Amino acid sequence: MKFSEFIEKYATHPQYHAPTGIELHAKSWQTEAPLRMLLNNLDTRVAENPDELVVYGGTGQAARNPKALLQIIKCLLELEEDQSLLIQSGKAVGIVRSHPESPRVYIANSNLVPAWATWDHFEKLKKEGLMMYGQMTAGSWIYIGSQGILQGTFETFAACGAKYFKGDLRHKLIVSGGLGGMGGAQPLAATMTGATFLGVDVDAERILKRVESGYLDHISYSYTEAIALINKAKNTGNALSVGLVGDIGDVLELMLNDQVIPDVLTDQTSAHDPLCGYVPNGITLEAARILREVAPEKYKQLSMKSMARHVGLMLEMKNRGATVFDYGNNLREMAFQGGEKNAYDFNGFIPEFIRPLFCDGKGPFRWVALSGDPEDILVTDKALVEAFPNNHQMIAWLQKAEKFVEFQGLPARICWLGMGEREKAGLLFNELVKNGKVKAPIVIGRDHLDCGSVASPNRETEKMLDGSDAISDWPLLNLMANTGGGATWVSFHHGGGVGMGYSQHAGMVVVADGTQRAENCIRRVLHNDPASGIFRHNDAGYEKAKQNMKDFDLEFK
């Protein structure tokens, strides 16, 4: 197929979708895989705004602009097995000599020298066409739609239930703001744990998208109707989710006035970006779009003032008995800058619920069937259940996922696996491809939110035992270990999840294509990747990680 024919069929802006089946368009599966995943990120069933190449998180892009995207596609179609493509903030900038077991693509997104690592400087460079914001999996081409965050949200809500509600979230109400690409997973995650859920978003289109995808049960334009629905569901123990069109601050204020106190309160608005992610209180969506352009500084001030009010209301909910936690969008910091001096009086979700898992090298292991056939995912689900019969949490999740999760774009799955489990699963998938049990190769990746791949003091590395929250040597070491191990593509980003200046993080993807080369790379990468998380937490002094150093033979000889 000629380049022009490929573009016409798969990449006519803004209508993007990935090829499926076993026919190669690139020169090997090692380049076909990133090509398909890039296009899948921009599929209208997956991406928030394909017209702007935005995948999720307000402004998280897969490529810098349509012209740069076409050049990346052309390079991937032509790349040889002894070459690697360099991507600088969503633009192909060079091809280097490498070898068959080295990464085919090296990606660096949004990275700035620390003293210049601010939204203002980033926006200046972005306007000049020099950078883009890659978020986490948007710019590293391994986003899989809402399911990607769904499983982690399910784990978090379940852990919250275990810690505060004796493991039972029935008859409990979870309230949150934001139903976009990340927050849109919350309604289904909540109902999967048995809870009643109320989500609030100013953008009705986002809520409707969650209803259409099966992640949300009901949309409401009326506060009175929404409260009546959730009160009835909570009282009867019905796992119902309602999306209310409105301002989260206004809704929380009304709930306080009506003495409707949620059992659990968090937030998933795009608070990390006060200019393009958050809509200030009292402003319509259309007015917000105009104000961003004509008075960006005023807009940011209004956003942070609104976030201060938002967090102040969350703190009052906490005072009245709600379990409140920050869900990693840097809302507390923006609120602090907006004037709420007590913004950090509730914890983030990592120190509250997830850090013990990190000490085990556990994190979000995800995979995608390049065949495009959902049956291939069911085959992998079954294989994992047979391989890990004692991992009851994983099995319970897979059963729920098969029942409730609708695929977006290429069929994919995610579950949390730890040290030893990831390597075993990867080798198992490679055998499934080799033996024809699945129809085409499988892409194996993860979120950047993982045990050893992030430095983010307001999220993944908040309140580290040794105070090493801001040390970003660790994600760089993770990146180098996965590069040396032979990941199919690697990435290093700045600012994902919490905004410019607040995080650095690494991503990796490895492809199981049934070959010995793939087996070699999988053995190294899916060992190195979780091991780096155990190293990081062992060095910080966590006893559980110290024990895992011994159990997995990771200690110095």
Residues with catalytic roles: 415
* Measured distance CA(140)–CA(202) in Å, rounded: 28
Longest dimension (CA), the chain: 65
For residue 202, give the nearest of 257, 243, 161, 155 by alpha carbon.
243
* Measured distance CA(29)–CA(512) in Å, rounded: 9
Q: 432 by DSSP, 3-state: which?
A: helix
Q: Could you identify the residue written with the tokens 């953008």?
A: 203
For residue 139, give the nearest of 392, 506, 498 by alpha carbon.
506
Per residue, the 3-state secondary structure of 27-55, as one string, reads CCHHHHHHHHHHHHHCECCCCCEHHHCEE
Residue type, 183: G
CA distances from 188 to 184, 238, 271, 411 (A): 8, 13, 22, 18
Per residue, the 3-state secondary structure of 217-276, as one string, reads CEEECCHHHHHHHHHHHHHHCCCCEEEEECCHHHHHHHHHHCCCCCCEECCCCCCCCCCC
* Measured distance CA(182)–CA(271) in Å, rounded: 12
Burial of 4 (0-12, 13-18, 19+ CB in 10 A): exposed
* Measured distance CA(508)–CA(481) in Å, rounded: 10
